[in-house]
């Protein structure tokens, strides 16, 4: 099986970087130096058009509103369904005009299933990035800066909610709408949260491996990175921010991108 258009990958060179942040959340500390082997990461999150090839080839379930995830509890179910409605697929096809937008309403297990299919199609292993790979890639070859582009928030560099009053008028944007970071990667802050492969542990940075860490062996929460179009708290867009979510999570603001080994 071959793909008509293989994913556009950027090479991330082997080397170490400073992971975490010293002046932010407790679970981002301590800042520690991590070595990550060379890998390739998609320049863009997986789009609806790319995900559609997977759906049509495998018959896998399409993005939809099904049993609501835990993140929609506590009286948030109505807002969740309202915001998610625009991203529901019909008859195996994404919403009109959204082909180049990042796919959303994809839970972790579906993202892993896509990676398995893509691995067969490419003839090489495709998978979700680890937290360390994702953060190294997001930093774009720099150490210490808050966002992929620098230390100051900039609405011209990413899709996030700068005005909460217009949440219902906002949404995902086509991939590549905003400038890339130093590694040529797009949407590493904003547009959609991105699944990583690690389980979450609040104290993991104090015990993690210094070479190619892969997270705890098990856990009760998963991790998404990068922030999204619905986030008005710009701190969530930081390179170091770790967002823990229940394993059943799917949302109008969560997607993913893939990595391949060198």
d(CA 145, CA 240): 9
d(CA 119, CA 26): 36
d(CA 127, CA 33): 24
H or E element at residue 111: helix 108-122
- Taking only the tens place, the pLDDT of each residue in 133-162 is 999 999 999 999 999 999 999 999 999 997
Query: What size, in residues, is the chain?
Result: 262
Q: Which of 205, 204, 243 is CA-nearest to residue 221?
A: 243
Task: For residue 255, report the phi and psi dihedrals to the nearest 5 degrees.
Answer: -135, -150
User: What is residue 52's three-state secondary structure?
Assistant: helix
CB 87 within 8 A of CB 104: yes
d(CA 154, CA 45): 20
Give the pLDDT of the chain (262 residues) as one tens digit per residue.
Answer: 556 578 999 999 999 999 999 999 999 999 999 999 999 999 999 999 999 999 999 999 999 999 999 999 999 999 999 999 999 999 999 999 999 999 999 999 999 999 999 999 999 999 999 999 999 999 999 999 999 999 999 999 999 997 766 666 689 999 999 999 999 999 999 999 999 999 999 999 999 999 999 999 999 999 999 999 999 899 999 999 999 999 999 999 999 999 998 8
d(CA 148, CA 135): 9
- Taking only the tens place, the pLDDT of each residue in 69-109 is 999 999 999 999 999 999 999 999 999 999 999 999 999 99
pTM strictly above 0.85: yes
What are the chain's domains? 9-261 (3.90.1580.10)
d(CA 151, CA 157): 12
Report which DSSP code applies to 31. -
Q: Which of 198, 183, 206, 203 is CA-nearest to residue 137?
A: 183
CA dihedral 158, 160, 163, 166 (to 10 degrees): 120
CB 236 within 8 A of CB 24: no
Q: Which of 103, 120, 117, 110 is CA-nearest to residue 61?
A: 110
d(CA 193, CA 81): 18
Chain position carrying tokens 């942040």: 21
């Amino acid at each position: 099986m071959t793909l008509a258009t293989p994913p556009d990958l950027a090479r991330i060179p082997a080397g170490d970087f400073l992971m975490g942040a010293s002046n932010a959340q407790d679970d981002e500390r301590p800042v520690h130096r991590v070595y990550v082997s060379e890998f390739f990461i998609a320049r863009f999150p997986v789009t609806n058009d790319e995900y559609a090839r997977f759906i049509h080839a495998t018959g896998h379930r399409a993005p939809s509103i099904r049993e609501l995830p835990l993140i929609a509890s506590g009286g948030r179910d109505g807002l969740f369904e309202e915001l998610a409605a625009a991203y529901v697929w019909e008859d195996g096809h994404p919403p009109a005009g959204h082909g180049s937008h990042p796919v959303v309403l994809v839970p972790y297990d579906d993202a892993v299933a896509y990676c398995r299919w893509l691995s067969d199609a490419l003839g090489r292993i495709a998978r979700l990035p680890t937290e360390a790979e994702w953060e190294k890639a997001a930093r774009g070859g720099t150490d210490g800066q808050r966002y992929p582009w620098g230390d100051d928030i900039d609405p011209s560099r990413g899709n996030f909610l700068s005005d909460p009053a217009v949440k219902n008028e906002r949404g995902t944007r086509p991939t590549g709408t905003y400038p890339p970071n130093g590694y040529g990667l797009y949407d590493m802050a904003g547009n959609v949260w991105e699944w990583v492969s690690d389980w979450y542990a609040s104290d993991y940075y104090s015990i993690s491996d210094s070479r190619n860490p892969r997270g705890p062996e098990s856990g009760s929460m998963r991790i998404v990175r990068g922030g999204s179009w619905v986030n008005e708290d710009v701190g969530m867009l930081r390179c170091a921010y770790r967002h823990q979510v229940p394993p059943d999570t799917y949302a109008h603001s969560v997607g993913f991108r893939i990595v391949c080994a060198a």
